[in-house]
Structure 1
Amino acid sequence: MSARGIYRLTMLSVIVVCVIVSYVVLARRADGHPQQPGPRPAFQLPFPCGESWSLTTYAGHDDYDIDFFHNGGPSAGRAVVASAAGTVAWSGWQATLDTGAPAAPGTVGTRGGLGFGVILDHGGGWFTTYGHLQTWPEVQQDQPVTQGQLLGHVGKTGSTKVEHLHYEQLDDTRDPRRTRSTADKVESIFNGVPSGITTDGSAATGPIHTAGQPSPPQNRTSHNCP
C-alpha cells in the first residue's frame, strides 16, 4: 500500500474512533448517566478571613441549603465574598409574588426567589449560590472573580424577612439535563471540612427526601484569607 493510502486509512480510523466515542458519551447522557465532575474547588466560607458564622437550616429548606448568621453581632450589611475563584454565571434579581408574578427589585418577604443574588461557575460542574443580598451585586454576569472577591452584602431580599445569607454548593454533573436543580445540591465543604448541614428534616424536599430532625446549627470561622 502506498504512503498516501496508509495515511488515508489512518485518518479514516481516527474519524471512526471519534464517532464511536461521541456516540457513547451522548448515549450515556440520554440514559441518565451523569458526567464525572472535575476536582472539587477548595471552597472557603463566603465571608472575610477570621469572621465567625453560624450555619443553620430548617424544615422545607431543601437538603444541603445553608442559612448563615453572623456570630456576635448583626448579619445585615456584612460582606459576602466568593468561596472560590470562578466566573459569574448569573447576577441580578429573582423573586416572585404570591400571584406568581415577578416581584419588584428589593422586595422583602416574597413567595419565592433568591432576591438579589449571585451564582458562580467554578468549572468542572461546580457552582455556588449566594442569595438574599442587600442590593444589586457587586459583580456582573460572565465576569471572572477571584477567591475572596466581594460579591455583595448580607440582606433580606426575596423569600425571607430576616437578614442572612442563603448559600449552596452544587455538582451540576449529577443531573444529565445540566439545570443546576435540587438533585445537584451537595453538602458544602469549607477549608476541607464538611459543613454538617445535610438534611432539612423534610421528606417533601430533596435531594435526600428523608423525614426527621433538621441538621443542628454549626459554627465555623472563615479561612477565606488573602
Structure 2
Amino acid sequence: MTPRGVYRLVAVMVIAGCVAVSYVAIRQRAGEPPAPPSPPGPRPAFQMPFPCGEVWTLTTYPGHDDFDIDFFAASGATGGRTVLASAGGTVTWAGWSATLGDGKPAPAGSSGTRGGLGYGVIIDHGGGWFTEYGHFGAVPRVRTGDAVTPGQPIGVVGHTGSTTVDHLHYEQLNDRLDPKRTRGNGDKVEAVFDGVPSGITSDEHSPDQVRTSRNCAASGARPPA
C-alpha cells in the first residue's frame, strides 16, 4: 500500500472512531438509561451444605444480614462436622478472613462479611450465583480456583473469625441483582435447599427452621424420605 493509501486508511479509521464516540455522548446527554444487567441464570439445585441425612437447625439473630443463615447441628456436637459444597462450581475464594489462598486480600466487596469469616470459602456456581461459607474450624480443604462437584467436602464447622460458638455461616447470593456485581450485601437472597425456601428472610423476625440434608449425590446414599 502506498503512503497515500495508508494515510487515507488511517483518516477513515479516525473519522469512524469520532462518530462512535459522538453517538455514545449523544445517548448519554439524551438521558437514555444504561443497559440493564444481564438476567440471572437459573438457580442451581442447591442442597444443604452437610452430608446426606444430617439434621440441622437454621437460625439468625438481630444484626445479622436478613438472608444470612447460622447452622447448628440439631443433635450432638456442631464443631468438627463436615461442610459440603451446596452445588458444583469453582472456588473464587478460600482462605482466612477475606484473604485469598495466596495471602492476598480478596477484592473489595467480594465477601458480605469481610474480615469476620475466619476460615471460609466462596463458590461461583455460574449464572451469577454464589454460595459463601464461614467460621470453618481449620484451613479449607479446597483452594481458590479449584473446581468442586456437588456435595464435595470443602471444610469443617468451627468458630474462627468473629464468633466464639461453633456454627456454619452460610449465604446464597445472586450478583446479577447488583449492577456492580460485588457479591456484597445487596446480592444476598433467601437460600433455597432442594427446591424449598429456607424461611430465613429477616434477622428480626425469622423463626428457627429444622431441616434434613438431601445432599446425597456424592455419597451415593438415598435422599431421606
Q: Rate the CA distance shift 1:38–1:225 in 2: closer, same or farther, 3 A.
A: same
Q: What amino acid does structure 2 have at the position aligned with 1:221?
A: T
- TM-score, scaled to structure 1: 0.74
Name the counterpart of 1:221.
Answer: 212
Name the counterpart of 2:174.
Answer: 171
1:133/1:157 contact within 8 Å kept: yes
Structure 2 counterparts to residues 17-56 of structure 1, below 5 A? 31=34, 33-56=36-59
1:35/1:174 contact within 8 Å kept: no
User: Shift of residue 112 of structure 1?
Assistant: 4.7
Distance 1:164 1:179 in 2: 25
Structure 2 counterparts to residues 148-167 of structure 1, below 5 A? 148-167=151-170
Structure 2 counterparts to residues 51-200 of structure 1, below 5 A? 51-94=54-97, 112-200=115-203
1:32/1:176 contact within 8 Å kept: no
- TM-score, scaled to structure 2: 0.74
User: Shift of residue 35 of structure 1?
Assistant: 2.2
Identical amino acids, percent of aligned pairs: 64
CA distances 1:107-162 after superposition (whole Å, capped 9, x unpaired): xxxx9510000000000000000000001100000100001100000000001010
> Greater Rg, structure 1 or structure 2?
2
User: Shift of residue 33 of structure 1?
Assistant: 3.4
Distance 1:95 1:140 in 2: 13
User: Shift of residue 181 of structure 1?
Assistant: 1.2
Distance 1:197 1:37 in 2: 22
Distance 1:90 1:163 in 2: 21
> Runs of 4 or more off by more than 2 Å in structure 1?
30-35
User: Shift of residue 34 of structure 1?
Assistant: 3.0
Q: Rate the CA distance shift 1:57–1:135 in 2: closer, same or farther, 3 A.
A: same
Name the counterpart of 1:205.
Answer: none
C-alpha RMSD of matched pairs (Å): 2.1
SS of alignment partner, residue 78 of structure 2: coil
Unpaired segments ≥5 residues, structure 1: 1-18, 97-101, 103-110, 202-213
Distance 1:198 1:66 in 2: 9
CA distances 1:39-78 after superposition (whole Å, capped 9, x unpaired): 1000000000000000000011001000000011110000
SS of alignment partner, residue 92 of structure 2: strand
